DNA sequence: GCGACAG
DNA sequence: ATCTTGTCGC
């Protein structure tokens, strides 16, 4: 694989345009037995990132274990190019998983991106894995504010009216989250699956647990590697 | 030129 | 993303 650390933004843009043709937006078939959440944590001004993937049983959402990996990253955070900063470390965490989930939820957007290549789509294409993008803020597109109750949602569209994903109120009266298909699933399917992952918090369980895990890892409370004890 | 801008 | 205490609303 290409070394993302030495890329320029123009070069990264070319890679996104190439990968874009490989993204497959199609209804997800089959049952989901395992689902996972991926996230990254780091200290401000540091080049060390702490990546993690938490595996859960589905639909119970009971955690099975987590994969934690530390890595040096030089590519800076540039809106629209998050994948070049976080994907390398996440791939290492992915390789370390003893069981691959049927679907992976990534913290960021899927095709709701200027070039349809958000981090969830990027990771999905590289691993040939069904992925869903779940972000806390909009990156690209237009939408109407969804209703105030849990479960209310509105479409996120591009400048041509094409629906890229949905804006979902995951909890009563909290800021909505942005859900879009990454790879090997579609807009309706990604929303449906994600809704089944929302518990009593704003963020879906896979993402929330992954966020907790990488933070504990960064702070030295959890060890690197694969572990089944929480 | 101006506003927007995942983590 | 991370750093942070109290504070407002349900």
Q: Give the tens place of pLDDT for each residue, A144-187.
A: 999 999 999 999 999 999 999 999 999 999 999 999 999 999 99
Digit-coded pLDDT (tens) for A188-199: 999 999 999 999
Nucleotides, chain C, CB distance < 7 Å: 1-3, 10
Would the annotation count A107 as a binding residue?
yes
Residue A229 lies in a domain: no
Residue A226 lies in a domain: no
Average confidence (pLDDT) over A127-154: 97
Residue A230 lies in a domain: no
Range of the domain at A94: 4-25+33-221
Question: Computed over its alpha carbons, how large is the radius of gyration of chain A?
Answer: 16
CATH number at residue A62: 3.30.2170.10
Q: Phi and psi of A86, rounded to 5°?
A: -105, -25
Q: Phi and psi of A222, rounded to 5°?
A: -125, 145
Whether residue A229 is predicted with pLDDT greater than 90 in this model: the reply is: no
Q: Evaluate if the CB of A51 falls below 7 Å from strand B.
A: no
Residue A151 lies in a domain: yes
| Amino acid A195 CA to nucleotide B7 C1' distance, rounded Å | 22
Nucleotides, chain B, CB distance < 7 Å: 5-7
Burial label for A222, CB within 10 Å (0-12, 13-18, 19+), is buried
| Amino acid A106 CA to nucleotide B7 C1' distance, rounded Å | 11
Q: How many domains does chain A divide into?
A: 1
* Average pLDDT, rounded, for chain A: 97
Q: CA angle at residue A67 from A65 to A68, to 5 degrees?
A: 130
Digit-coded pLDDT (tens) for A12-66: 999 999 999 999 999 999 999 999 999 999 999 999 999 999 999 999 999 999 9
Would the annotation count A39 as a binding residue?
yes
The token duo for A209 is 């647990």
> What is the edge-to-edge ordering of all strands in the sheet holding A103-107?
A153-157, A163-168, A177-183, A131-135, A103-107, A34-42, A48-57, A63-72, A225-227
Helices (H), chain A: 9-20, 83-95, 119-127, 187-195, 205-218
User: Which residues of A in 190-229 have their CB below 7 Å from strand B's atoms?
Assistant: none
Residue A144 lies in a domain: yes
Cβ–Cβ under 8 Å, residues A204 and A198: yes
Residue A118 lies in a domain: yes
Model confidence at A230, pLDDT cuts 50, 70, 90, reads: confident
Residue A211 lies in a domain: yes
Q: Evaluate if the CB of A137 falls below 7 Å from strand C.
A: no
Digit-coded pLDDT (tens) for A61-104: 999 999 999 999 999 999 999 999 999 999 999 999 999 999 99
Q: Evaluate if the CB of A93 falls below 7 Å from strand B.
A: no
Q: Evaluate if the CB of A200 falls below 7 Å from strand C.
A: no
Distance (Å, rounded) from C-alpha A213 to C-alpha A159? 37
Cis peptide before A174 (omega within 30 of 0): no
Residue A228 lies in a domain: no
Please state, as a whole number, how many other Cβ atoms lie within 10 Å of the Cβ of residue A149: 10
Q: Phi and psi of A177, rounded to 5°?
A: -115, 160
Q: Distance of alpha carbon A31 from its chain centroid, rounded?
A: 20
Strand nucleotide closest to residue A136 (CA to C1'): B6
């Amino acid at each position: 694989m290409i070394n993302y650390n030495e890329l320029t933004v123009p070069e990264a843009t070319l890679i996104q345009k190439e990968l874009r043709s490989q993204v497959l937006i199609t209804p997800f078939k089959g049952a989901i037995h395992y689902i996972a959440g991926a996230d990254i944590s780091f200290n401000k001004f540091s080049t060390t990132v702490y990546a993690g993937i938490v595996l859960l049983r589905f639909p119970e959402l009971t955690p099975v274990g987590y994969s934690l990996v530390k890595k040096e990253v030089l590519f800076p955070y540039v809106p629209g190019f998050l994948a070049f900063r976080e994907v390398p470390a996440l791939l290492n965490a992915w390789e370390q998983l003893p069981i691959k989930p049927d679907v992976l939820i990534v913290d960021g957007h899927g095709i709701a991106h200027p070039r349809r290549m958000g981090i969830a789509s990027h990771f999905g294409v590289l691993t040939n894995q069904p992925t869903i993008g779940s972000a806390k803020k909009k990156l690209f597109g237009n939408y109407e504010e969804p209703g105030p109750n849990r479960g209310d949602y509105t479409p996120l569209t591009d400048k041509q009216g094409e629906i890229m994903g949905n804006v979902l109120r995951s909890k009563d009266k909290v800021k909505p989250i942005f859900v879009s298909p990454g790879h090997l699933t579609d807009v309706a399917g990604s929303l449906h699956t994600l809704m089944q992952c929302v518990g009593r918090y704003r963020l879906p369980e896979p993402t929330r647990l992954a966020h907790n895990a990488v933070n504990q890892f960064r702070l030295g409370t959890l060890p690197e590697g694969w572990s089944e004890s929480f």
